Amino acid sequence: MPGDVNIAVQLFSVRDHLGPELGETCKQLAQIGYSHIEPYDIIGDTPALRRAMDDSGLRAASAHANVLTDNRDRMIEAAGQLGIGTLIVPWVEAARYYDDRAGIEELAAGINAAARVAADHGIRIGYHNHEFEFDHRVDGRPGYELLVDLLDDDVILQVDCFWASVGGTDPLDLLPRLGKRVRYLHVAYSPVPDPTKPPLLGGDGTLHLPEIIRGSADNVEMCVVEVVTERPIFDALRENYEYFRGVLVA
């Protein structure tokens, strides 16, 4: 990824500007400079999403899609129609899967099974973390570490740096341990820490984003911006694009 300025935006950031506004929203994101989007609903109206991508010139390398559900095959088919090469499990129920080893083993088995099916269609499966994977401990270890050990080698990881930090794990320490399994980073930049959100690792209340990104540049394919804010969202996304572009080309 060194020198690459392909930066994606998770469409959850603009969830209030989708539906009939999807086409114009994608054009606005492209005008800001984003080259990719990361959708979180690829089966609701696949043709409309395809049109919005074509009209704006945006691509999607990955999408959030819970392939552990009965919609797995529809999601894989939609990914093919949209040119998406990676489907990422975006969230699971902590109480169901992370209370004990058996739950994590069940989760890993489901992800591995989905990955084998998707591979027949040329699509990878990945996993996106929140904070509970780190603060739920099993056998004295964070549940996330056990899950990663149980996942097949071809299952990739999308590390959400904010949520890992909220869970008490510094991404600067985590990412080297995960190595080449990490193919995507979820990131967000704010010039002033938000006092309404949990504190982050990094003494000033912010993540050390340049160090995190440059330290994983050899294996990370894309930085995905996800912003949740009460500020005007397109202003925040422009600010994020300019910040991360500066990091990537430095």
What token pair was written down for 101?
């080893």
CA distances from 39 to 147, 154, 184, 193, 221 (A): 25, 22, 14, 27, 17
Q: What is the mean pLDDT of the chain?
A: 92
- In whole angstroms, give the CA distance from residue 184 to residue 224: 7
* pLDDT class of 2 with cuts at 50, 70, 90: very low
Position 130, amino acid: H
Task: Please determine, for residue 201, whether its predicted confidence score (pLDDT) is greater than 60.
Answer: no
Q: Decide yes or no: CATH 3.20.20.150 for domain 7-249.
A: yes
Position 115, amino acid: A
Question: What value does the mean pLDDT take over residues 43-50?
Answer: 98
0.85 exceeded by pTM: yes
pLDDT at 204: 47
- In whole angstroms, give the CA distance from residue 70 to residue 178: 30
Helix (H) or strand (E) holding 246: helix 233-249
Question: What value does the mean pLDDT take over residues 107-130?
Answer: 99
Task: Please determine, for residue 192, whether its predicted confidence score (pLDDT) is greater than 90.
Answer: no
C-alpha radius of gyration, the chain, whole number: 17
- In whole angstroms, give the CA distance from residue 162 to residue 144: 15
From 16-30, 144-158, 220-234, the region with the lowest mean pLDDT? 220-234
What token pair was written down for 5?
């300025």
Query: Where do the structural domains in the chain lie, given as residue ranges?
Result: 7-249
If one compares 25 and 200, the residue with the highest pLDDT of the two is 25
Question: What value does the mean pLDDT take over residues 110-119?
Answer: 99
Question: What value does the mean pLDDT take over residues 222-236?
Answer: 92
